[in-house]
Amino acid sequence: MEIELSCNSYAFESLTVEPFNAEPPRSALISSYVTPVDFFYKRNHGPIPIVDDIESYYVSICGLIENSKDLFMRDIRMLRKYNITATLQCAGNRRTAMSNVRTVKGVGWDVSAIGNAVWSGAKLADVLELVGIPNLTSVTRSGGKHVEFVSIDKCKEENGGPYKASIPLSQATNPEADVLLAYEMNGEAQYSVVALFLVVWATSCLNPVELTSWLTLNSNAYSKFFLSIIMPKPLNRDHGYPLRVVVPGVIGARSVKWLDTINILAEECQGFFMQKDYKMFPPSVNWDNINWKSRRPLMDFPVQHNTETCWLTVRNLLTRGRECDEAWKADPQLLYNLQAKVSGYAVSGGGRGIERVDISVDGGKNWVEASRYQKTGIPYIADHMSSDKWAWVFFEVIIDIPHSTQIVAKAVDTAANVQPESVETIWNLRGVLNTSWHRVQVREALCLIRCAKRKRRLLAKQKLLPFGKVSVVILLCGGGIASIISLTNLNHTEIM
């Protein structure tokens, strides 16, 4: 018998309103390997633009190339379509933990400014071939070495100008880098319930002869009608409709949304978010002595992980009135022992796989290795062709723990990069790339066990539950209790 007290509220937490920035709760992240669009973090630097006329929308390719070109959506859709599973992460993910050391500047992200999606579209390498830039090109004939992406949206940091960023041309023209001009997210189908009902009704009510005749007379209209109700779901406005760049393995700031222009440049983009933001400085640098030119723009994100949920299974919890209370007062340790199911995500930039995730329940003195997986039923092998090299990896382990302790986790990627132990050593004034060990406190377990015991006794007196032994499962979300579902809302059959 098991009683669950769990976190089931998936409402977004809005961090800023203008521009709008929000992240889902921690517990929503590892509910699915592919993050549903509704749970994907939202990061904006200005107002979300509206593109109404998709037929007239186009992307200009210009700069240090021989022939400039305007590409409409129909041109891009004519290119081969690729589906790439890739994790995007804001460079400021886990910034709040860094701000607890010293004040930092930026959106106060917790641990959920990250998401994993299936992005669909044309490879940038194929698009650049249309303007005469072959695959695996590092320099164009005119001296172009960088590809700049310019957005439709405007932001105050650019003095009202567009958001922009760039990547090296060698990366943009490499098909193996999987840089996309994406027009779909998660390949979901959208259906019109009313329209589908009409289709089913028509095909069921007409006899075969009448249906064939109707389809012959209305084949063109029917085709358009059918395609309008069953079609891949495009990007929504929050995530870059109608077209965005996806640069796998790189901080999310380089995956420009609402794409307007692609410029081929001799030097990297000189925009604000390339030159005066998203750079990492040592702890000694402050706003009085900062020299932005002394650091390169951030690109690949380092190895990162987060311990999302800890299921504490409390076994042999006695519930017989005064006998239980007296025994508890005499020696609480005799009444229960704890096992934790520790789970979360791990990811590294540059397409590097996750070689190992280590878990400690004694502050890092001793470690056990967690199991890793991406897809159900398929063993995860780092850097193997069966694995998604740009996507996060889930991990989990069941381990005995004291009733009050700190669970610590760290990840190691295939290049043997390991997360730093302390956030203090990587503190920086912008609060970016906090990849330190993640720590989860479980000191709340004892009081919750007592609370669950009392509630179960009450239910038993009301004859909703039998007396006896029970295992209580408590969900901790990243070091704090997310929510507790009242046991009085459960019936006997739900908890057997």
Q: Are 399 and 340 in contact (CB under 8 A)?
A: yes
Helix 208-217 / helix 193-205 crossing angle, nearest 10 deg? 130
HSE-CB at 69 with a 13 A cutoff on CA atoms is: 14
Q: How far apart are CA 120 and CA 35, in angstroms?
A: 15
Q: What is the pLDDT of residue 197?
A: 41
Q: What is the pLDDT of residue 359?
A: 94
In sequence order, the 6+-apart residues with CB closer than 8 A to the CB of 123 are 79, 80, 82, 175, 178, 179, 180, 181
Bridge partner residues of 358 (DSSP) = 369, 410
Poorest-pLDDT segment among 110-114, 325-329, 487-491: 487-491
In sequence order, the 6+-apart residues with CB closer than 8 A to the CB of 485 are 4, 5, 6, 8
Q: Element (H or E) spanning 119, and its range?
A: strand 114-123
In the predicted model, what is the mean pLDDT of residues 249-266? Answer: 98
Q: How far apart are CA 193 and CA 191, in angstroms?
A: 6
> How far apart, in Å, are the Cα atoms of 485 and each of 2, 40, 59, 481?
14, 25, 50, 11
pLDDT band at residue 195 under the 50/70/90 scheme: very low
Q: What is the pLDDT of residue 14?
A: 83
Q: Are 358 and 421 in contact (CB under 8 A)?
A: no
Q: Element (H or E) spanning 83, and its range?
A: strand 82-89
pLDDT band at residue 319 under the 50/70/90 scheme: very low
User: What torsion, rounded to 10 degrees, do the Cα atoms 411, 417, 421, 423 define?
Assistant: -100
In sequence order, the 6+-apart residues with CB closer than 8 A to the CB of 376 are none
Residue 221 in this model has a pLDDT that exceeds 90: no
- Comparing 204 with 414, the larger pLDDT belongs to 414
Q: How far apart are CA 157 and CA 290, in angstroms?
A: 18
> What domains sit in the chain, N to C, each tagged with a CATH number?
11-186+234-294 (3.90.420.10), 199-229 (no CATH), 304-495 (2.60.40.650)
For the chain, how big is the Rg over CA atoms in Å?
Answer: 27
- Comparing 447 with 431, the larger pLDDT belongs to 431
HSE-CB at 29 with a 13 A cutoff on CA atoms is: 30
pLDDT digits (tens, 9 = 90+) for 56-100: 999 999 999 999 999 999 999 999 999 999 999 999 999 999 999
Sign of the CA dihedral running 456, 460, 464, 466: positive
Q: What is the pLDDT of residue 142?
A: 96
Q: How far apart are CA 328 and CA 335, in angstroms?
A: 7
DSSP 158: G
Q: Spell out where 169-210 has E strands.
A: 180-190
Q: How far apart are CA 453 and CA 456, in angstroms?
A: 5
Q: What is the pLDDT of residue 465?
A: 40
Residue 150 in this model has a pLDDT that exceeds 70: yes
Q: Are 259 and 240 in contact (CB under 8 A)?
A: yes
pLDDT band at residue 120 under the 50/70/90 scheme: very high
In the predicted model, what is the mean pLDDT of residues 197-226? Answer: 52
In the predicted model, what is the mean pLDDT of residues 404-427? Answer: 93
Reference 41, options 66, 13, 60; nearest CA is: 13
HSE-CB at 293 with a 13 A cutoff on CA atoms is: 0
Q: Are 60 and 68 in contact (CB under 8 A)?
A: yes
- Comparing 65 with 192, the larger pLDDT belongs to 65
pLDDT digits (tens, 9 = 90+) for 238-251: 999 999 999 999 99
- Comparing 222 with 183, the larger pLDDT belongs to 183
pLDDT band at residue 212 under the 50/70/90 scheme: low
How much is the mean pLDDT over the chain?
Answer: 80
Q: What is the pLDDT of residue 123?
A: 98
> How far apart, in Å, are the Cα atoms of 45 and each of 26, 272, 380?
23, 11, 36
> How far apart, in Å, are the Cα atoms of 359 and each of 36, 212, 381, 448?
28, 64, 19, 23
If one counts every other C-beta atom within 10 angstroms of the C-beta of residue 480, the result is 10
- Comparing 428 with 30, the larger pLDDT belongs to 428
In the predicted model, what is the mean pLDDT of residues 92-116? Answer: 95
Percentage of the chain lying above the pLDDT 70 cut: 71
Q: Element (H or E) spanning 59, and its range?
A: strand 58-63
Q: What is the pLDDT of residue 45?
A: 95
pLDDT digits (tens, 9 = 90+) for 456-487: 554 455 444 443 333 333 333 333 322 222 22
> How far apart, in Å, are the Cα atoms of 424 and each of 102, 175, 283?
9, 39, 8
Sign of the CA dihedral running 421, 428, 23, 54: negative
pLDDT band at residue 125 under the 50/70/90 scheme: very high
In the predicted model, what is the mean pLDDT of residues 40-66? Answer: 95
- Comparing 262 with 441, the larger pLDDT belongs to 262
Whether the predicted model's global pTM rises above the 0.85 cut? no
Q: What is the pLDDT of residue 79?
A: 98
Q: How far apart are CA 34 and CA 352, in angstroms?
A: 19
Strand order in the sheet with 162-168: 69-72, 58-63, 259-265, 146-154, 162-168
pLDDT band at residue 345 under the 50/70/90 scheme: very high
